[in-house]
Amino acid sequence: MNAPLQVYEPFRAGLPPLKRYWKSLWGRRTFISEYSRSELREQHFDSVFGQLWLVLNPLLLSAVYYLLIVIIQGSSDSTRYAHLTATLFLFYLIANSLTGGVKSITAGQRLILNTAFPRIMLPISAVVIAIFKFLPTLIVFIVIRVCVGLSFTWEMLWAIPILGISILLALGLAITISCINVYFRDIASFLPYMTRTLLYLSPILYEASSLKSNIRALEVFNPLFPILDSWSRTMVHGQAPQTSSVLQGLAWAVGIFIIGSYFFLSREREFAVRL
């Protein structure tokens, strides 16, 4: 009995059969989970000290930024520190997705050349790893929130859909940048500067409400701005987020995911040639 042949056509032939593609991807969900866990073990995040560093790294960074804010502005506010840690932890979820996603295809070169599977699994695994890294920081923030004396409200449940939007945005960005890196390898070297720029342009070191109206008009060009603003309102102040901010963040997340997925799926069949 002859083995079945699999034909790889150039991306100009169009998208692959999407129904069969997503079905194949869903059938490999266990592999995505195990692959992500193996990557975490390789980075020693399965140990106590590895998990501790997941928390200490952004926590120490937030402490440094907070001290700079106190020195520059001459005022200390526990709510300000809660805002800084909450938004910084969520920012690291997206930043880690970008960092892991940018080299997910090029690093999986041997796997791509020797195995037939949906290539989009690799950037998805990078986002799953970022989520595993984010979960311990979420617990630490709850402890910080209790220590600074902030009350808990039912409006904090808005954090669930906001987190879902953040993950969708992180997934779209990881898929997009992983495909771009196949064609332009220098994007990986530029990524740290891009993430640092997003850090300063996003409402992390400051709250969105403190900005002037003419500066806030620029927020429409930053996909992280409405998401981090909504996250702070919900997790720090215990308030319902602005509907416009949630819809704006959702539009960014859905748009980037759709465009990035189309860009990725239409070109993944020539990745083996590019690698």
Virtual CA dihedral for 62, 65, 71, 74, nearest 10 degrees? -70
Tokens of 120: 């989009």
Of the candidate ranges 26-40, 139-153, 238-252, 254-268, the one whose mean pLDDT is the lowest: 26-40
Distance, CA of 119 to CA of 116 (rounded, Å): 8
Distance, CA of 217 to CA of 245 (rounded, Å): 13
Who's near 266: CB < 8 A, 6+ residues apart?
11, 14, 15
Ordered by start, the domain boundaries in the chain are 45-274
pLDDT of amino acid 151: 84
Contact 162, 90 (CB under 8 A): no
pLDDT in tens, 156-211: 999 999 999 999 999 999 999 988 888 888 888 888 888 888 888 888 888 877 77
Element at 170 (helix H, strand E): helix 159-183
Distance, CA of 223 to CA of 205 (rounded, Å): 17
Question: Vertex 227, ends 222 and 233: CA angle to 5°?
Answer: 130
pLDDT in tens, 226-271: 999 999 999 988 899 999 899 999 999 999 999 999 988 888 877 7
pTM of the model: 0.85
